[in-house]
Amino acid sequence: MYAELSAAAQTAFASVASAALSAESARSIAAAPGGFATKAVHGQRYWYHQIRQPDGRLLQTYLGKATPELDALVAQHKDPTAAAAREHLRRLAQAALALGCDEVIPRHAMVIQRLHDHGFFRVGGVLLGTHCFLAYQNMFGVRWTLGTTTVDLDFAHSGRNLSLALPDRVDTHAAIESLRMGFVPNADRSTYKKADEPDFDLDFLTALRRTGDAPVHVEALNVTLQPLRFLEFSMEAAAPAVLLSRRGPIVVNMPPAERYAVHKLLVCGERPAAQRTKALKDVAQAATLVDYLGTHDPEALAAAWADLQSRGPGWRKRAAQGVAMLRRQYPALEAAVLLA
């Protein structure tokens, strides 16, 4: 269900991923979109970060009294070496793409990059869905042969434990509006639709809680999250990962592949009959990852499966339905014996 990428492609991706993750770990307020300004109050200078909102308003965030340390940090915002570093990352990404690595299509990359720039992933946002499945290709040095069609972009957040850096409010709605791509939110702003691309939706999700499945508005993110059953299984162990676009790498948070695979088996049985095509795609992606992990990391796959099995009879029942569907669709998949 997969083919190996060339050694050169694998090496190129390893280089750009390492460089991008290193750059991300060193990000500070100096890397924030927008600019910086000072105000004088009673003879003292105070720093503010400022960014223009889509409606034209200037949003300012107080940083603190000017100090040599803060002055130096803000000075990095105009440091030409920062622009050179970004250009280096872009060239590394393009070299990896030229060698056969998978890329995020430009219009999707624009959305993901904008949310990244506005801090969505730095405060716990998670990328979900087929874009994760596609990203695993570069991480594993392979090319999938099944389940790669995607249109929607799925994002998630727990909605809890927000520890916000700069800016102190991640305005997700403003980030989407600033793209000027024609996205229109539904009534509760948990989904954004594009009139000229009916299948290109942006969905914002969270795990289902005891309070029910009513949409949850998170003021600190200025977004509404639609609760979904079982979503916590993927979100619990999300970690930084690197996507490739023509304009450079994008660092996001994603579920590990083994949990993604098991989660797909868990939810495919929940799809109504009208969504059979999506259920088949769920199973195709699960089968592909089971095929790969069964050879390269069976321990991780077995651990994820054991975790799911420990969560109760409802989880086990649905997972068993997913495995049964997997075996019907892919009877030759030997690695499916790990799901027992």
| Confidence band, pLDDT 50/70/90 cuts, at residue 206 | very high
Q: How far are the Cα atoms of 3, 171, 279, 290 from residue 267, in angstroms, in the given order?
A: 27, 30, 8, 16
What confidence tens digit (pLDDT) does each residue in 19-35 have? 999 999 877 655 666 78
Global model pTM greater than 0.75 = yes
Q: Does residue 185 carry a pLDDT above 60?
A: yes
- Residue 331 burial by Cβ neighbours in a 10 Å radius (0-12, 13-18, 19+): exposed
Span 193-201, average pLDDT: 89
Q: How many CB atoms lie within 10 A of CB 307?
A: 16
| Confidence band, pLDDT 50/70/90 cuts, at residue 161 | low
- For residue 235, give the nearest of 321, 132, 339 by alpha carbon: 132
Q: Which two tokens stand for residue 322?
A: 């997913």
User: For position 22, what pLDDT does the model report?
Assistant: 93
What confidence tens digit (pLDDT) does each residue in 113-134 have? 989 988 899 889 999 999 999 9
What confidence tens digit (pLDDT) does each residue in 42-57 have? 888 998 878 775 556 6
Indicate the residue type of 63.
L
Residues linked to residue 255 through DSSP beta bridges, in sequence order:
none
Which residue is listed with tokens 């948990």?
190
Q: Which two tokens stand for residue 178?
A: 């600033």
In a 13 Å sphere around the CA of 189, the CA atoms on its Cβ side amount to: 14
Q: Which regions of 147-258 does DSSP assign to beta strands (E)?
A: 153-156, 183-185, 191-194, 197-207, 216-218, 223-228, 239-245, 248-254
| Confidence band, pLDDT 50/70/90 cuts, at residue 165 | very low
- Mean pLDDT of all residues in the chain? 89
In a 13 Å sphere around the CA of 282, the CA atoms on its Cβ side amount to: 22
User: How would you classify the pairing of strands 44-52 and 35-41?
Assistant: antiparallel
Q: What is the DSSP secondary-structure string of 42-53? A: TTEEEEEEEEE-
Q: Which two tokens stand for residue 102?
A: 């998978």
Residues linked to residue 301 through DSSP beta bridges, in sequence order:
none
Task: Calculate the CA 264 to chain-centre distance.
Answer: 17
| Confidence band, pLDDT 50/70/90 cuts, at residue 82 | confident
Degrees to nearest 5, angle at CA 246 with 242 and 247: 80
